[in-house]
Every structure is written in structure tokens, then in C-alpha cells.
Amino acid sequence: MSDPGPTSGPDDREERALPPGPLLPLSTIGSFPKSERLKRARADFARGTLDADSLRVIEREETVACIRLQESLGLDLLVDGEMYRGDMTTYFAENLEGFRISGLVRSYGNRYYRKPVVVGEVRWPGPVTVEWFRFAQEQTRLPVKAILTGPYTLMDWAFDEHYGSRESLALALADVVRQEAEALVAAGARHVQIDEPAISVRPDEIDLAIRAMHRVTDGLRARTITHICYGDFPAIYPRLLDLPVEQFTLELSNSDLGLLELFGTSPFTKELGAGVVDVHSHAVEPVEVVKERILAALRVVPPPRLYVNPDCGLKTRTAEESEAKLRNMVAATRQVRQTL
């Protein structure tokens, strides 16, 4: 697919805006914890003792439960919870052409995953996540944010046995992700998040990551968001702001708000989805602590440009921890809203 170019520019503000709602919209990064029942079903499916249709029924039920949970907690911009996804790159690799999946490798601690291996030309075989987006959106009147893994991260987190060039592979993947994003927009997605957590670790490749993102978002008729985490932000800031998206969701809690100091060196010009609860800690932050983090973020961006979310996806926490963290996040945000 050729570069779409800037012809259908991001000019239709009305279509792209959130429905009128509260200040400091509450959202999440994408993944929610999988229940024991779902984990068992996925394991049974992997062993061949459960068929795909039965797994799908369970995944759908869990998706509905996840939507209900987000509604009841009081979130404003929902996600489908990724009940049908394993790892954020492997899931796409399993559903695109040109990949095989490796044996287990360690991510950190006692967590392991299967890594994509590029063995041929990567191609988009047709919609991958669209049916799940539609299903999730049918369950709620609140907007659902579509979540994709970005081309730079898909490239960086795969073993490349075919292209032999990081640039060629990243740009080929950008065309694939663009097609998926277009299909989501056609299905009604108004918010598309393109996760690029790998972007912050190779400052010398930030230009490549930006070029790849242009191929995904230029002229896309949706609000565009990216999520980046755990890396060397000082090395790529403020160049990072040239990523063609409207919002960055960033981890502020794990870094002790260190990122906010960085934004003092050069103004943060985008919308900020501030990560106000740490997803890698069992401890549930008290409302007061979360509130302080929100207020700290407000010193960097004005209220109309601030969203509130956890640092990262919640799938590494237990259901109880996630719910408690989100509950405090909502309570803290409501308290801050009253002061605005």
C-alpha cells in the first residue's frame, strides 16, 4: 500500500472530538487481567482440548464483563480489555502473514512469552481486531478506543529472518497497521491508539519510528493516541512530540513523576494521558497519592489536554488489584475535577 499522503488532513474537528463529557476523561491503556476461567480456557485451547468456538464464547463473555466493569467504575473512554490477545506483538504476528511464532523467551522475572519471527514478506490478510472492536462497541454507549501495536514495536520485538533491514521491515509493517487502522475507522472507531513502547530505547531510530507512524496516521479519520513506556525519555524528548498523534499516554507513576520534570525543559504540546497508578506494583495507591499525581500532571498540561489512566496495561495485576487501583484513580480524578 502506498503512502496515503496528507490529502485528507485532520481537519474535521467535530468528528474527532470526544463526545461532550467531563474534564480529565478517564481511560485505560488496553489490557485487563484475564480471569482464571479464561486462562484455563486458553491453556486448554493451546493443548487442543478446547475448540476455537468454545474459547470464543468465553472470550466474548469476559469482554462483556470487562465492559460492564469499566462502566460501573465510571471510566469515560473504554477498551475491549484484550481478552482474546496474549502478548501485544505475538497476537498480531499470529494473525498477519509473514510470521511464525518462536518458543518461550523471558520478558522479566518469571514472565515469558512467544516471540514473533519474520520469515517472509509481511502482509495484511484482512481485518484482525475489527470484529472484536465492533462487539465491544455494541455492548456500551460509551466510546471504545481501538488498540493496535505500532509498526516500530512490531519490528523491534520480532526476530527478523527475512528483511535484514530494520527500516524495510518497520515500513512494511506500517502499511499493514495502516490497513488495520482504516478497517477499524470504517467500523466506527473514533479513537485509535497505536502502542509504541519500543520507541524509547533507541534514540538513533526515532526518525524511523516517526516515519512509520506517519504511514499509519496521516489522514486517518480518528483521534490518534500512542502509548510509550519504560525507556530513556530524556534522549528522545522533545523530538518525541513529532510523532504524528494527538495524545501520548505515558507512565508517570513508575518513574516517580520524573517525566514531568522533563516536560519542564520543553513544553509538552500534545494531549497527555497521565499514568497515575503503577501497574508493576501490588500496592494499591491511596486516593491522596493518585490525586497528587494528577495535580502534578496539571502543572504540565492544562485541564482540557489531560486524560487520566494507569501507567500501562493492567494484565499483569490481579483482578482485585486492578479494580482497587482503578477505583482510587476514579475517586481521585473526581475530587480534582471539583476543583477545576
Q: Which residues bind another protein (CB under 8 A)?
A: 102-110, 112, 114-115, 117, 156-157, 159-161, 164-165, 197-198, 200-202, 230-232, 254-256, 278, 280
Closest approach, Cβ 299 to another protein, in A, equals 22
Of 1, 33, 20, 4, residue with least CA distance to 322: 33
Identity of the residue, 165 or 266, whose beta carbon is nearer to another protein in the bound complex = 165
Closer by beta carbon to another protein, 100 or else 134: 100
Using the structure block, give the residue that is written with the C-alpha cell 503503577: 278
Task: Please report how close the Cβ of residue 265 comes to another protein at its closest, in angstroms.
Answer: 18
Q: How far is the CB of 97 from another protein (least distance, A)?
A: 18
Amino acid (1-letter code) at residue 73: L
Give whole-number Cα distances, 43 to 49, 55, 208, in Å.
9, 10, 37
Q: How far is the CB of 115 from another protein (least distance, A)?
A: 7
For residue 177, the minimal CB distance to another protein (Å) is 18
> Toward another protein, which CB reaches closer, 77 or 284?
284
Pairing type for strands 223-228 and 247-251 reads: parallel
Smallest separation (angstroms) from another protein to the CB of 255: 7
Burial classification of residue 18, based on how many CB atoms lie within 10 Å of its CB (0-12 exposed, 13-18 middle, 19 or more buried): middle
Q: Specify the residue, 135 or 230, whose C-beta has the smaller distance to another protein.
A: 230
> Contact 169/201 with Cβ under 8 angstroms?
no
**Identity of the residue, 222 or 276, whose beta carbon is nearer to another protein in the bound complex:** 276
Number of Cβ within a 10 Å radius of residue 11: 9
C-alpha cell at 159: 526476530
> Which one, 11 or 108, has the nearer CB to another protein?
108
Number of Cβ within 10 Å of residue 204's Cβ equals 8
In the chain, the amino acid numbered 40 is R
Residues in the chain: 340
Q: Taking a C-beta distance cutoff of 8 angstroms, is the pair 325, 288 a contact?
A: no
